[in-house]
C-alpha cells in the first residue's frame, strides 16, 4: 500500500520513476518544472536576447552582423558586389544558413521598400514588401553595397565607441551594438516575434525624430507630439489622426493606429487608382477581399479590378459602374477591406540585455544615454591619442637642447638594444619617448624638423583640455549630440510620405449607399429566376422571355426598396432587397436567385414574398394540409445576415408561402378535387420560424394539397360550403357551377 501511495504521489508532482526500457537506456527521475527550467528557458532567452527583439541601436543581431560584414568588405564606397558574396562572408558571424541571411538583406534593401531609409543600396529584383507574390531573385543575380546613410551606423567605430565581442567560434570580433548617430530605432520599422513576447515598432520621419531628440535634450518635459506628428511609413498612405491613440503609443509603447490607402478617381474613365496602401497588407490581400465582397453581393458598384503594379510603383485599378459615387464607395471599402488597416504598436526593446516596453519618449531618453556613452568612448579614445602624441613630442623637445648629443649616443652605442636605454639615461626621458626618437630617420635629425613638430605641442595641450572638459560636462556632450542630429537631418531627411488626415469621422457611414426608391414590377418563376422591371420598360415590351419549360409563379408591383424573402427547398429563407437586383427588361431571362444569393449546393428558391415594412404575417401551406402562421417580425435580424436557417418544414413540401399584411382568406386546393376557404386570423400565430403549423385541411389517405390562392383572385358563386368553423376541415367538392 505504501509503494502504491508513493507512486501516486510521484505521478501527481510530476516525477517519473527510474525505469529500465529495452534499447532506450535508463529514464531518470526529474521534475517537469526542472526540465522546463533547464531546457526551455535557455532557448526562450536566446530567442529574446539574440534573435527577435531589437536593441537600442535599432537592429537585431542578424541585421547587425550583415551590415558589419558589408562594412568590413569595404562596401561603404566603391562598386556593388554580388549578394552571394556578402551572404557567404556574413556566415563568419551568422551561422544560421544562407537563406535567412539573404532574406534579411532583402528587407534592408532599397528595392524591397520595407524601410523608410534603406541601409542597403541594391540592384536587381528584390521583390516588394507590398506584394506577397512578387518574389525576389536569387542572391547570385542581385548586387548590393551599403547606402550612404550607413555611414552614420559606423561613425567612429574604430575609436572604441562600442564594445566588441567574439563571434560564435572566437575567430574574429564583432560589435555588440552599432554606434548610430541618430535614433534609428524609431526611424526604421522593426518587427519581431520572440517566446512569450513580441516587438512591433513603426517608422517615423527622420527629420521629426532628430528634431524631437534635440528638443528632449534641451527640455526633458518637451511635448513630443508637437514635433513628432506621427508615424511615417515607406508605403505612404494616410494616418487617420487620433490624438488619444497617438499619446497612448508615445507614453506606453502600445496602441493601434489606423492607416488608410491613397487613391485617385478619374470620372472620365470611371476608374479608381490605388497608389499607396497600409504597411500591414498586400495588393493581393486587398484584391481577394474586394472580389469576395463582389461575389457576396455586398459591393455592386465594381465592374473590374486589376493589379497594374510595374517598375514605376504600386497601382491597383478599380473599374466602377456609371453613376457610382467613388468617394462613398471608397469609404465603404475602407470599412470592409484592408484598404484601411490598423498598425499595432508594441515598442519592446532590449535595454542592457533586458527586454523592456517603452514609450517613444522613454525610448529616446534611453537612446540619448546610449549615444552619450558612445561620445564619451570616442572622446576618451581621442584624448588618449592626443596625450600619447603630446608625451612623445615633449620627449622630442628635450633633445632639441643638444641634437649632437643624441646623434653621438646613437653612433657610439655598440648594441642596438642599448640605444633606447642610453637615450633614456642621456636625456632623462622614458622608454616610449626614447623609442620614438630612436626611430626618427637620420634626415629628420635637424633643428627645422624638430621645431616644426614641437609647434604642435600648444595645439595638443588645448585640444586635450577641450576633450577633458567635454568628458567632465554632460551638457557639452548633449550639445555634440544635438549638432550630430542637425547634420544627419540636413543630409538624409526626406519629405513625409505618410500624410495625416485630421477630423475624420466615419463611424456613422452606412455600409450601403442610400437606395434610390422608385416603382418596379417583380416576377418570380417556377425555376427560381427573378426579374425587376420598371413600369416604363414594361410598357415598351411586356412579352416575358422565360427559360424553356419555365412559368411565372409570382408577380406584383413593388418598390426598389422593398424587402424580399426567398424560401428554398431546404427549409431556409434568404433575405434580400429589390435594390440588390439590377433593373432588367421583359426580354431578359432574369437573375437565377440561387447563384445571385450564393445558396448552398443543390439549394433552389421555390417561393418569393415581397414586403415594404416587414409587418403582417406569412402563411406557409404544406402538402400534408398543415398551415403555419408566422409574424413577419420573426424574420427581422439585428445583423445583416441574408440566410436564416430552419425557417420552414424541410420534410414536407412547401406548396405556397403567401403574405398577409392583414387578415385575409385563402383557398386551399387538394388533388382529390376539394377546396377549403381559410381565414388567416383563425390560424394560431407562432413566433418560431421553424414551426410546422397546425392541420387545417383534412385529407384522405394519399391525398395532398396542390395549390393555394388568395380568395380575392377567385370568382366563387357559393362560398359557404367551402368555409369551415373549426379545423381540420375537409372543405367542399368543387363543381363547375361553383367557379
- How distant, in Å, are the alpha carbons of 269, 306, 636 from that of 319? 8, 8, 34
Residue that the C-alpha cell 375537409 belongs to = 730
CA 616, CA 603: separation in Å to the nearest integer? 27
For residue 347, the SS3 value is coil
* No. of helices (H) and no. of strands (E), the chain: 20, 35
- DSSP 8-state class, residue 336: H
Strands 354-357 and 348-351: antiparallel
Known catalytic residue at 141: yes
Q: Spell out the residues 6+ positions from residue 424 whose beta carbon is closer than 8 angstroms to its own.
A: 430, 431, 434
CA 571, CA 564: separation in Å to the nearest integer? 16
* Contact in structure between 349 and 263 (CB atoms under 8 Å): no
* Contact in structure between 305 and 290 (CB atoms under 8 Å): yes
Grid cell, residue 684, equals 394560431
Using left for φ > 0, alpha for ψ between -120 and 50, and beta otherwise, residue 156 falls in left
CA 652 to the chain's CA centroid: 50
Strands 348-351 and 340-346: unpaired
Q: What are the two backbone dihedrals, phi and then psi, of residue 23, each rounded to the nearest 5 degrees?
A: 65, 15
Q: Calculate helix-pair angle for 98-108, 83-90, nearest 10 degrees.
A: 120
Catalytic-role residue among 40, 43, 141, 168: 141
- DSSP 8-state class, residue 92: T
Q: Where are the beta strands (DSSP E) in 473-568?
A: 499-501, 519-525, 529-533, 552-559, 563-568
Please list the residues that pair with 276 across neighbouring strands: 262
Name the burial class of residue 269, with classes exposed (0-12), middle (13-18) and buried (19+) by CB atoms within 10 angstroms of its CB: exposed
- DSSP 8-state class, residue 38: I
**Total length of the chain:** 739
SS (H, E, C) 520-536: EEEEEECCCEEEEECHH
> Does residue 728 have a cis peptide bond before it, meaning omega lies within 30 degrees of 0?
yes
Q: Calculate helix-pair angle for 456-472, 474-492, nearest 10 degrees.
A: 100
Q: How far apart are the first and last CA of the chain?
A: 94
Give 362-389 as a DSSP string: HHHHHHHHHHHHHHHHHHHHHHHHHHHH
CA 117, CA 184: separation in Å to the nearest integer? 9
CA 143, CA 124: separation in Å to the nearest integer? 7
For residue 499, the SS3 value is strand
The count of other CB atoms within 10 Å of the CB of residue 296 is 11
Q: Which residues are catalytic?
A: 141
Amino acid at each position: 500500500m505504501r509503494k502504491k501511495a508513493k507512486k501516486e504521489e510521484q505521478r501527481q508532482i510530476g516525477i517519473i520513476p527510474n525505469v529500465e526500457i529495452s534499447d532506450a537506456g535508463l529514464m531518470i527521475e526529474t521534475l517537469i518544472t526542472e526540465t522546463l527550467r533547464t531546457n526551455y528557458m535557455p532557448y526562450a532567452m536566446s530567442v529574446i536576447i539574440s534573435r527577435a527583439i531589437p536593441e537600442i541601436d535599432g537592429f537585431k543581431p542578424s541585421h547587425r552582423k550583415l551590415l558589419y560584414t558589408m562594412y568590413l568588405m569595404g562596401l561603404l564606397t566603391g562598386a556593388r558586389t554580388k549578394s552571394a558574396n556578402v551572404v557567404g562572408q556574413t556566415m563568419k558571424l551568422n551561422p544560421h544558413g544562407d537563406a535567412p541571411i539573404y532574406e534579411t538583406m532583402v528587407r534592408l534593401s532599397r528595392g524591397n521598400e520595407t524601410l523608410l531609409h534603406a541601409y542597403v543600396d541594391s540592384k536587381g529584383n528584390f521583390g516588394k514588401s507590398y506584394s506577397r507574390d512578387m518574389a525576389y531573385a536569387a542572391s547570385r543575380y542581385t548586387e548590393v553595397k551599403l547606402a550612404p546613410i550607413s555611414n552614420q551606423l559606423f561613425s567612429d567605430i574604430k575609436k572604441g565607441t562600442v564594445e566588441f565581442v567574439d563571434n560564435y567560434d572566437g575567430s574574429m570580433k564583432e560589435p555588440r551594438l552599432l554606434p548610430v548617430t541618430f535614433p534609428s530605432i524609431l526611424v526604421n520599422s522593426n518587427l519581431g516575434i520572440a517566446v512569450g513576447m513580441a516587438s512591433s515598432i513603426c517608422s517615423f520621419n527622420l527629420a521629426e525624430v532628430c528634431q524631437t531628440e534635440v528638443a528632449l535634450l534641451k527640455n526633458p518635459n518637451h511635448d513630443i507630439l508637437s514635433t513628432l506628428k506621427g508615424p511615417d511609413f515607406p508605403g505612404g498612405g494616410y494616418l487617420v489622426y487620433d490624438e488619444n491613440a497617438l499619446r497612448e503609443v508615445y507614453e506606453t509603447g502600445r496602441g493601434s493606429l489606423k492607416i488608410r490607402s491613397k487613391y485617385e478617381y478619374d470620372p472620365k474613365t470611371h476608374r479608381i487608382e490605388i497608389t499607396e496602401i497600409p504597411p500591414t497588407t498586400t495588393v493581393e490581400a486587398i484584391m481577394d477581399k474586394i472580389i469576395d465582397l463582389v461575389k457576396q453581393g455586398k459591393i455592386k458598384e465594381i465592374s473590374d479590378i486589376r493589379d497594374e503594379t510595374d517598375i514605376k510603383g504600386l497601382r491597383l485599378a478599380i473599374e466602377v459602374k456609371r453613376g457610382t459615387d467613388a468617394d462613398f464607395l471608397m469609404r465603404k471599402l475602407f470599412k470592409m477591406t484592408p484598404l484601411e488597416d490598423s498598425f499595432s504598436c508594441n515598442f519592446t526593446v532590449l535595454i542592457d540585455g533586458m527586454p523592456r516596453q517603452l514609450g517613444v519618449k522613454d525610448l529616446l531618453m534611453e537612446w540619448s544615454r546610449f549615444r552619450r556613452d558612445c561620445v564619451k568612448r570616442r572622446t576618451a579614445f581621442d584624448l588618449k591619442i592626443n596625450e600619447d602624441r603630446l608625451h612623445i613630442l615633449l620627449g622630442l623637445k628635450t633633445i632639441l637642447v643638444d641634437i649632437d648629443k643624441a646623434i653621438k649616443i646613437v653612433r657610439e652605442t655598440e648594441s642596438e638594444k642599448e640605444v633606447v636605454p642610453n637615450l633614456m639615461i642621456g636625456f632623462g626621458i622614458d622608454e616610449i619617448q626614447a623609442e620614438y626618437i630612436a626611430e626618427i630617420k637620420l634626415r629628420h635629425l635637424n633643428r627645422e624638423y624638430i621645431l616644426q613638430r614641437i609647434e604642435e605641442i600648444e595645439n595638443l595641450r588645448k585640444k586635450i583640455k577641450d576633450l577633458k572638459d567635454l568628458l567632465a560636462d554632460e551638457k557639452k556632450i548633449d550639445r555634440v549630440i544635438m549638432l550630430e542630429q542637425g547634420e544627419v537631418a540636413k543630409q538624409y531627411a526626406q519629405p513625409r510620405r505618410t500624410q495625416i488626415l485630421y477630423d475624420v469621422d466615419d463611424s456613422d457611414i452606412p455600409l450601403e449607399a442610400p437606395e434610390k426608391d422608385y416603382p418596379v414590377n417583380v416576377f418570380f418563376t417556377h425555376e427560381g429566376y427573378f426579374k425587376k422591371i420598371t413600369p416604363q420598360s414594361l410598357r415598351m415590351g411586356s412579352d416575358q422571355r422565360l427559360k424553356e419549360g419555365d412559368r411565372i409563379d409570382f408577380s406584383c408591383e413593388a418598390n426598389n426598396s422593398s424587402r424580399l424573402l426567398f424560401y428554398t427547398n431546404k427549409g431556409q429563407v434568404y433575405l434580400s432587397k429589390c435594390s440588390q437586383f439590377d433593373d432588367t427588361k421583359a426580354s431578359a431571362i432574369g437573375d437565377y436567385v440561387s447563384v445571385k444569393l450564393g445558396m448552398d449546393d443543390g439549394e433552389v428558391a421555390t417561393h418569393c414574398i415581397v414586403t415594404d415594412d416587414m409587418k403582417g404575417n406569412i402563411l406557409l401551406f404544406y402538402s400534408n394540409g398543415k398551415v403555419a402562421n408566422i409574424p413577419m417580425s420573426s424574420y427581422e435580424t439585428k445583423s445583416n445576415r441574408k440566410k436564416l436557417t430552419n425557417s420552414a418544414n424541410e420534410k414536407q413540401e412547401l406548396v405556397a408561402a403567401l403574405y398577409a399584411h392583414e387578415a385575409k382568406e385563402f383557398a386551399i386546393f387538394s388533388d382529390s378535387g376539394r377546396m377549403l376557404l381559410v381565414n388567416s386570423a383563425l390560424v394560431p400565430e407562432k413566433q418560431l420560424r421553424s414551426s410546422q403549423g397546425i392541420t387545417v385541411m383534412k385529407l384522405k389517405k394519399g391525398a395532398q394539397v396542390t395549390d393555394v390562392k388568395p380568395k380575392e383572385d377567385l370568382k366563387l358563386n357559393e362560398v359557404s360550403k367551402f368555409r369551415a368553423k373549426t379545423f381540420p376541415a375537409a372543405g367542399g367538392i368543387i363543381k363547375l357551377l361553383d367557379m
